[in-house]
Chains A and B, each alone.
Chain A
Amino acid sequence: MSAVSTIEWTEEFARAVDRLIDVSVDDYYNPYRTFEWPESIAPNDLWMSRELLSVHGTAAEKELSHEQLVELSRWESVNLYSLIAHGIRELLIEVMRRIHTPGYEIPTPYFHHFIGEENEHMWFFAEFCLRYAGRIYPDRRMVFPTDERAPEMNNFIVFSQILIFEQIGDYFNAKMAADTDLPETVRAVNRIHHRDESRHIAFGGKLVKALFEEVRRTHSPEEVEEVGQYLRGYIDLIIQMLYSRDAYQDAGIPNPTKFRAAVIADPARAPITARITERTNNFYRRIGLFH
């Protein structure tokens, strides 16, 4: 599909690809033997760190009992892992479209590791949901045909979306891996994902930076500004997906649609959202897209 033969991969990028491949090979593990998968996970413990719950800090949180928070933590963790599983499927489709195509000769060797690792992540997050909750929440996004743009812009957007999604997911994974109050199985899936994602995010950052240079060379400042707005909208979309009507409903919260609207609009959430998106916003400021 995308004609990208004009992308100028730097020596630094090529060396980074080599280094990341070495680490991927050294860190390789069999995911199907890595996890213990106990029969059940402590039903009376939080499955997601309290400060990561979508209600944290809000007026609505104060209305919930400890039992309701525990129930909500179970379904919000299922929502997070479902989002990760769906996100991985979409990103794998995009990377598959580009591997071994003209222009991608330099990153292609790492794409093989990326695809393999992401497939395994999708497996263990889906496995967690299906084993302990009996379901994966459906993907509620829809891709519109008008999202298609010039090839170099499309490449930048696609890999930006992958990076944004991974950075926001990693905020949750890193905190849950380190939270000693969470059940060990919960910590383990988050720990393994966080470890692998640190490589993917490092790679994604370098790739997106190179693709952005290409966009800046070939597009007007107005078009660059417009794509910046589009990606801000995408960040907002990912944040909105963390507030799951399905999770509120499964946690037994009455009128989940209204509850969701109230929680999203609660002013206590703005500084929390700023923390969740800080790394992403800093990255795009650094490369010159956000101001």
Chain B
Amino acid sequence: MQEIIDWIRSKNPELEGEIAGDTDLIESRLIASVSFLEFIGLLEELSGKQIDVTSLSVADFRTIDRINENFLAPVA
């Protein structure tokens, strides 16, 4: 999980304060569509599984909690 937070911080160096589990990463623009592909690559690396983006929606990536639940929980 720390890897995800580190990645978000690397993309948003001006960000101060904590990123909570329920922070809306989309509305707050912490994850943007232009960096999404890189983010998916990170999730695949962490989970060891390929992600089929076509079967997912923005809601699946909205918070750290949702990301954890959808992609990382089984290996966490």
Contacts and interface: CB of A to CB of B under 8 A. Distances in A.
Same complex: yes
Interface in B1-55: 26-27, 29, 31-38, 40-41, 44-45, 50, 52-54
A87 to B, nearest CB: 14
Contact of B53 (A142, A236, A258): A142
A143 interface: yes
Interface residues of B, number: 22
B75 interface: no
Mostly, the A contact residues are helix
A54 B61 CA distance: 29
Given A146-B27, A261-B45, A141 B37 contact: yes
Interface of B: 26-27, 29, 31-38, 40-41, 44-45, 50, 52-54, 56, 58, 61
21 contacts: A138-B53, A140-B37, A141-B33, A141-B53, A142-B53, A142-B56, A142-B61, A144-B26, A144-B31, A144-B32, A144-B33, A145-B26, A145-B58, A146-B29, A146-B32, A147-B33, A237-B35, A237-B37, A240-B37, A245-B41, A257-B45
Interface of A: 138-147, 230, 233-234, 236-237, 240-241, 245, 257-258, 260-261
A141 B61 CA distance: 13
Residue with the highest number of chain A CB atoms closer than 10 Å, among B29, B34, B50 = B34
A140 B33 contact: no
Given A144-B32, A234-B34, A236-B34, A245 B58 contact: no
B52 A138 contact: yes
A160 to B, nearest CB: 12
Nearest to A260: B41
